[in-house]
Structure 1
Amino acid sequence: MSCVNNILVVLDPEGTEQKALNRALQLARISGAKLTLLLSIYDFSYEMTTMLAAEERDLMRDSLIEDRRVWIRDLLEDYNTRDLQINIQVVWHNRPFEAIIEAAITGKHDIIVKGTKQREGLAALLFTPTDWHLLRKAPCLVLLVKEHDWPEGGQILAAIHTTGENNQHQELNQRITEQALRFAQCLSSTVHLVNAYPGAPLTIAAEIPEFDTGNYRESIAENHRQALAEHAKPFAIPAAQQHVQEGLPEQVIPALAKELDAELVVLGTMGRTGFSAALLGNTAEHVIEQLNCDLLAVKPAGFQSPVKV
């Protein structure tokens, strides 16, 4: 089974290094998937040119779109695209994430591939960039690409939340592992599972001096080890590739990915929205800022994007 079939590649309108395109071409050569190269552009000054008639503004906008199509065709000349099915799509839209999601839905793409980079400072938490919107709202897989290579015989790390008691968490764990194994098959890689669990609250030892934090921590760790082993068994993932570690996911996952020199981290995102999500983000968003490899975000089954087409 192919890991992907229909790839939507988000081009960087200003970047000389097209990380998403490089990765998507690699995936397409391996899987035989078809590619759509998407560029979302917008210039507010074109909309504000009141001296021009509507038809003249449309002609100017169409001319700019055609210029960018030519730019993409010129860009592709530097790549080996032999035997690949590639479509070019340039859209005029003032909200790039909506343009991307609309294209993914109408084109029935099973994955969005987009380059990303680490953002520093408070703005990364307060202002939601396109990456974060895609993690929350895209209805398909989202692959955010960094600089790490994808070598054969590499490592893929799938982050599992074993304490989720409801069916949605269990189904999401299943989907995360299945996707990790599909990509591992395409990339000739090994899948590792990781589960992070919280330690004993410090307040317990302070309030209850006789409380044995050592036994408590070991009991919690053992419960998580058993739960992860139970999850891994149907997938035949051996114990040596199951990692249960104490700590927050945003600390444990990047640290283990670095230790394994993983090429890809796969995790689930529940698609939270609203002010609290914009301010605090979710696990996927906290994790990706610390990763030096790609991240594949998986949505729950039946997830519906709030973006309307």
Structure 2
Amino acid sequence: MDIRHMLVVVDATREEQQPALERAAQLLEHYTEARVTLMLCDYVPALDGGVLFESHALEKARESLLAHHQAHLEQLAAPLRNKGVQIDTTAIWGKRLDRHVLREVQARRPDLVLKTSHQRNPLKRLLLSAADWQLIRYCEVPLWLVKHGDNTLSQVCASVDPLHSADKPAALDNKLVAYGYQLSQQLKAQLHLAHCYTPLPRTMVFDASVIADYEGYAKDVKQHHATAFSQLLARSPAEGVTSHLLEGDPEEALPGFVEEQKIDLLIMGAVSRSRLESALIGHTAERLIDATPCDLLIIKPDGFVDPSKP
């Protein structure tokens, strides 16, 4: 994974701790030639009077707010600039953080976007389309969602799907393994590969012959997935990788696995769906945002183009 330019989304609601920036600073220790863009996007409804109530005073208030944010960005950039890192800063006014991030991605073409991921309560997960979800769906470059930026990245895991049951192209698994291997080598971390499989529950098997030998059926399913997983490992350039075949859906099996293995970064693939499918089904990565305590790195297939662009 060649990182030459990182776009770091600064959290406008935090004055001090910025996990995404902390993670970027760690990566700069290993990617010493990389440059950074710090962006901050803020919107205060009280300062948006709308067409009927727009005034010079409101405009000046917004300018003052952006000037304050710009000064804050310069303050955040100073320690890294003192180390010789090339840093640009931009403060933006507007709604829909995800749309502004995607515009910056189009304009600046970074190799990586880093953003702090907030924990959401169950009601918000049901009712809101969070910026994280939109970026998972539409960001054309790798997206790193940071939970805690101060921990060392010593355990990296790529979640693969060699039978492509989630409609992911075969080449994406190879890309996930390659990114995981390159990152683990650069960070001197242990690389894990995990594949989740799910046989049909006994209560959903309607074939009488299968019901009579459900254990045999479940064993055959496991062997089928184990063979595909082994073939993927055989094609992998990753040496010293630890592999894990997990029974259960990813959103059920991975959170416990991540905690048990003390995984610091989980790498996952995401493919684009229609807006309706995304609303009804969602991506595995979306469902894991709040379920896993570690960082998530979301990778798109080669040639992916943001379908939401005008």
Task: Output the CA distance in 2 between the equivalents of 1:204 and 1:275.
Answer: 27
1:135 touches 1:271 (CA, 8 Å); kept in 2? no
Cα distance, 1:149–1:192 mapped onto 2, change above 3 Å: farther
> What is the CA-CA distance between 1:61 and the residue it aligns to?
3.3
Indicate the residue corresponding to 1:182 in structure 2. Answer: 182
> What is the CA-CA distance between 1:281 and the residue it aligns to?
2.3
> What is the CA-CA distance between 1:70 and the residue it aligns to?
0.7
Task: Output the CA distance in 2 between the equivalents of 1:9 and 1:296.
Answer: 14
Please say if 1:172 is aligned against 2:157: no
Matching residue's letter, 2:17? E
Task: Output the CA distance in 1 between the equivalents of 2:166 and 2:144.
Answer: 26
Aligned positions of 1:205-220 closer than 5 A:
208=208, 211-220=212-221
Indicate the residue corresponding to 1:94 in structure 2. Answer: 95
Indicate the residue corresponding to 1:124 in structure 2. Answer: 125
> What is the CA-CA distance between 1:253 and the residue it aligns to?
1.5
Task: Output the CA distance in 2 between the equivalents of 1:114 and 1:165.
Answer: 29
2:47 touches 2:62 (CA, 8 Å); kept in 1? yes
Indicate the residue corresponding to 1:266 in structure 2. Answer: 267
Cα distance, 1:273–1:97 mapped onto 2, change above 3 Å: farther
Q: Normalising by structure 1, what TM-score?
A: 0.89
> Is there any run of 5+ residues in structure 1 with no aligned partner, and where?
none
Classify the secondary structure of the residue corresponding to 1:272. coil
Deviation per residue, 1:157-183 (Å, 9 max, x gap): 111111127995201111111111121
Deviation per residue, 1:193-249 (Å, 9 max, x gap): 111111233235676275311111111111111111111122244697111121111
2:117 touches 2:132 (CA, 8 Å); kept in 1? yes
Task: Output the CA distance in 2 between the equivalents of 1:223 and 1:207.
Answer: 19
Task: Output the CA distance in 2 between the equivalents of 1:239 and 1:248.
Answer: 26
Deviation per residue, 1:244-265 (Å, 9 max, x gap): 1211111112222112111100
Aligned positions of 1:44-83 closer than 5 A:
44-48=45-49, 58-77=59-78, 81-83=82-84
Aligned positions of 1:1-309 closer than 5 A:
3-15=2-14, 16-32=16-32, 33-48=34-49, 58-77=59-78, 81-147=82-148, 150-151=151-152, 154-164=154-164, 169-203=169-203, 208=208, 211-237=212-238, 241-308=242-309
Classify the secondary structure of the residue corresponding to 2:88. strand
Classify the secondary structure of the residue corresponding to 1:39. strand
1:30 touches 1:186 (CA, 8 Å); kept in 2? yes
1:125 touches 1:281 (CA, 8 Å); kept in 2? no
2:19 touches 2:150 (CA, 8 Å); kept in 1? no
Matching residue's letter, 1:282? H
Classify the secondary structure of the residue corresponding to 2:140. coil
> Is there any run of 5+ residues in structure 2 with no aligned partner, and where?
none
Task: Output the CA distance in 2 between the equivalents of 1:227 and 1:115.
Answer: 35
Task: Output the CA distance in 2 between the equivalents of 1:206 and 1:40.
Answer: 53
2:135 touches 2:143 (CA, 8 Å); kept in 1? yes
Deviation per residue, 1:251-304 (Å, 9 max, x gap): 112222112111100001113342442354220011221111100001111111
Matching residue's letter, 1:128? S
RMSD: 2.6
Task: Output the CA distance in 2 between the equivalents of 1:79 and 1:239.
Answer: 34
1:24 touches 1:113 (CA, 8 Å); kept in 2? yes
Cα distance, 1:3–1:22 mapped onto 2, change above 3 Å: same
Of residues 100-109 and 205-214 in structure 1, the stretch that sits farther from structure 2 once superposed is 205-214
Cα distance, 1:256–1:273 mapped onto 2, change above 3 Å: same
1:229 touches 1:242 (CA, 8 Å); kept in 2? no
Q: Normalising by structure 2, what TM-score?
A: 0.89
Classify the secondary structure of the residue corresponding to 1:185. helix
Task: Output the CA distance in 2 between the equivalents of 1:137 and 1:166.
Answer: 17
Of residues 138-147 and 167-176 in structure 1, the stretch that sits farther from structure 2 once superposed is 167-176
> What is the CA-CA distance between 1:127 and the residue it aligns to?
1.0
Classify the secondary structure of the residue corresponding to 2:110. coil
Of residues 229-238 and 206-215 in structure 1, the stretch that sits farther from structure 2 once superposed is 206-215
2:49 touches 2:55 (CA, 8 Å); kept in 1? no
> What is the CA-CA distance between 1:63 and the residue it aligns to?
3.3
Classify the secondary structure of the residue corresponding to 2:40. strand
Matching residue's letter, 1:191? L
